[in-house]
Structure 1
Amino acid sequence: MESFFNTFGNIEAIKYVMNSIEDMVFIMKVENDHFKYEYINEATSKVLNYRNHEIRGKIIEEVVPHHISRQLITQYNKVAQTLRPQKFELNYSTKSLELIGEVSLNPILSDDGKCIFIIGIVRDLTERAKQYQELHELKLTLQSKQEQLAFSKQQYEALFLNHPDAMFLMDLEGGFISCNPAAERLAGYSQAELIGNSFTDFLSDTEVDNTVDKFNACIADRKAISYEVDYLDKNQNKLTLLITNIPLLVHDRMEGVFGTARDITEIKRQQEQLAQMAYFDYLTGLSNRRVFDEELAWALDKAVLTNESVALMILDGKEFKKINDSFGHDTGDAVIKEMAKRIQVAVRKTDIVARLGGDEIGVILPDIETKELVENIAERIIKSMHEPLHFNNARILFGMTIGIAIFPTHARQRNDLIKFADEALYHAKRNGFDYSFYNKS
């Protein structure tokens, strides 16, 4: 665990997020050609009957049966090599466990762009797959269109009315023929309001074209198709739905489309939280070092093409260790958060502010026309720190020192620009200045 959390921050906060997710979550460390378990959440422990200390440090081959580990390693290698997420379906079959899972693998990159961790999220589709199979088998036993649209009461109630997912039946034009109570609850509309109307009547303009394309593909290809849709229910609540369209065939003749909808809004939010760990600082919400490096490289590339200047500021808190020692780390964290807020207010909207570590913050100022503009921004930042912070019944005085280097005046290479801004910072600290520009002499 330490290596992952040393990279991405607060252990308890991230563990809380992981364990609040109903899906299984794995954090895997990438070491050469092996993938080692770093952490599994509580949902994973319950399903696989492993505890973190039992699995941590083991490679996939030591935990998963050979016929499954080969498939998993292939997918993990794709993520590590392409640096792109992968999604696939996994049939996990052992003597003690039968699981059908939708697997999402997401790379976590180091500052130099290498894949160092992979976060896996597995959504258990076993029960739903069984229910779909039961519905499919039931459909095959029906002999006529009338029978297809009027299931026997007992089977209809068991598999349609009482299903937790929203279910609905549509004609070939997309008009609703029937729906279950879960569909009414999800949509916010009654069955009477839905039946007879097209599904397009309930979608925003931005979602209609894609959804119609998926619906038509289901009919043309005669295959089930799943996709995500952003949806506003009747009460204007914004939801993300996982839609599945299934062709309804009778004697090889297309008679309609059966559909399901599942609310995955919370799952998407949790996935975004996990992804955010790779790009944003957990304490301040600022961009992290990885984003800072990417934005600086982009700003410098653009400046070369447009013949513009870019200023780089490296900021460091004054006597920050003294604040931590005197008032505690909670107060130190509060000071860092307050500094981040004030810096964002003091700079321009086009400037990039990132936390580089501890109380060190970097600011990228693109499109700089004059040195005076940089000085004005530096002075606004310094002035913004004059007001004390009141925290835990204490009055905290704090400030910042700034080192500045300008491209291409001081340096033409990214690493040199960072180095010179650091040197300017140390020069300012040694001489008691609020800020200092790099000086070659």
Structure 2
Amino acid sequence: MKELQALLERGVADGAFPGAQACVIRDGALLFSGSAGRRSLTGPPVDEATRFDVASLTKVMATTTAVWILASGGALDLDEPAGTFFEPFAQGEKRAVTVRHLLAHTGGLPAWRPLFAKVLADPALRAIYPDAGGPEPAVLPAEVRRQSRTALFARARRSVIEEAALAPLEHEPSRVCVYSDLGFILLGELAAERAGMRLDRFCDQWIFNPLGLTSTGYRPVGTSEPGAFAATGRTRPREPARGQEGLFEIPPQRERDDAGEVDDDNCWAMGGISGNAGLFSTAVDVARWGDAIRADRAGARRLGDPAVLGTLLAPDPHPEGPPRALGFDMPSGPRSSAGTRMGEAATRGHLAFTGCSVWIDFERGLTVALLTNRVHPTRSNEAGIRLFRPAFHDAVIEALEGA
């Protein structure tokens, strides 16, 4: 598949992204693995070991998969009220919201809010941010400073979760599909509560380790584990994305590449572990996860019950909004990032704000993982990835089946 490697290199040359990886697996067989570009504008080259911030692929690879495993074992019911876990959902119109609604993005919650803004405005908690000072003088022992920072992040995490749970509904539950980061922040927390352990630890133990995904996992803020990571933004908080202008302020600071720290600001304020973002991975690992989903749907049972997985993969019957399954995205229309040749009925996957995607074509037994850092050094770099994604996926099908 030399044409796929050439496409990755062309994407870099055209400025769609500084660096990229891609992997194609069909029925368990690796058909293509390639990389192109650099980890940052002037950094080292991307290779197959470089890990990318896969952002919202966390929603499907970690949170949705965790919910599937818990539901397979009877530890969680898809129709459980969210009020079982979050007090604000135990009253008023929120009482109708269930785990199923959160998975389908039909819980009525807002798409996004700068939940971290309350942390940033708190004179004590804002000390977690770069160049914002700190709660202790540098003369104190490193372990004391580390413990203080850990305590601050724990308080910041609670603040973000509380803000997500308190957000008023914007739509009647079950009616309108509005892709919601807030819903998946809450899903991650309820999965962790039902599992009886932190979400990152559950995912390591029950998803990534069993599948041999050695390059996949959360990176709590402050993690010192070495590795090669693709850079994303250059400030904290990041610059507002399109549509977020004026919703929060970015304090004066020295711009820096913090490759290896999560790009998503709500997740960052939670210490890097959330149901909506936080995973780092490689294209090979993402494709292996997708192939495991394909195999389990066919009865392999590596992770969970195929019948429960089938429920998650089925289209949700909401009357308004784009088509979605439970936790999984579906291609929709001729402008889909999955291209024109992966059919809506047989394909499931997810996109990520940082420029990553995974699509599983169950009819073909095919998984395509594409990872990029199109948000480096600026989030305004949008046009290139929108053109590149469908062209790349069409090129995969053409390489396998011809024009």
Q: TM-score, normalised by structure 2?
A: 0.23
Specify which structure has the higher proportion of strand.
1
Specify which structure has the higher proportion of helix.
1
Higher relative contact order (CA 8 A, sep 6+): 2
Tell which structure's C-alpha radius of gyration is larger. Answer: 1
Q: TM-score, normalised by structure 1?
A: 0.22
